Chains A and B, each alone.
Chain A
Amino acid sequence: MQPRFLFPHYLKRIGWLITIPALLIGLLYILNGQEFSFLEFHIRSKSNADLFLGEYENFTNELLGVLLIIGLNLVAFSKEKIEDEWVTKTRLESLQWGVYINSFLVLLSLVFFYGTDFLTVMTFNLFTVLLFFIIRFNFILYIKPSFESKNKVNAF
């Protein structure tokens, strides 16, 4: 049975190559307000510049968002080296897991964050479903088996 709607396996590596730098730069952006000056564009004229919007817009956060969405999707939905039915089942299960955890966190942030803080939390939320999914999926596939084989020798 061929799984549908998945990218070829080699794109998973490219996904990581996009995701990891984007996550690191994203961390700098959040902690230090790191922005790239070459991404500064003049997009509004002075006359109709809004009270809260400057003439210039820095596209660092936009670029990070685009890279993260593309990177995370490639990591999440590329075929594994051996893509069999158990892997497919684990993938779907992990996706459900990711949505559950994410919904729970949205629930908490709905109650505990207000105003612009809530907006910030919801920005993280654009990526967390995929992030939780990727962590759970890769844990089951690659990390859990190494624990099990240490505990008992079942491969003869």
Chain B
Amino acid sequence: MRNRIRVERAEINITQAELAERIQVSRQTINAMESNKYVPSTILALKIARIFNKPVEQIFFLDETD
């Protein structure tokens, strides 16, 4: 799975640390997701989508290997 978290974050101009704080995870978790090393749970994906005010599908995408 791929995601647009880094881009979305740049658009509303918040840092990894700020996003982490708003969804109550560690900064490393955000970093792991942005570098496609970690696929978040549905709960976390929904929380992230809510911060960016977009549906989950506009932030997370399946890729060929999924």
Measuring CB to CB, which residues of chain A are less than 8 angstroms from any residue of chain B?
A: 1, 80-82, 84-87, 89, 141, 145, 148, 154-156
For the complex formed, measure the closest distance between the CB of B7 and the CB atoms of chain A, giving whole angstroms. 12
Total A-B Cβ pairs within 8 A: 49
Interface size grouping (class) on chain B? 20 to 34
For the complex formed, measure the closest distance between the CB of B2 and the CB atoms of chain A, giving whole angstroms. 16
Q: Contacts A1-B41, A156-B10: A86 and B16 contacting too (C-beta < 8 A)?
A: no
Q: Which residues of A contact B9 (CB under 8 A)?
A: 156
Describe B's contact surface by its main secondary structure.
helix
- Residue of A with least CB distance to B35: A154
Interface residue? B1 (CB, 8 A): no
Cα(A141)–Cα(B43), bound, Å: 22
Tell whether, in the assembled complex, residue A86 and residue B38 are in contact, meaning their CB atoms are under 8 Å apart: yes
Cα(A86)–Cα(B34), bound, Å: 13
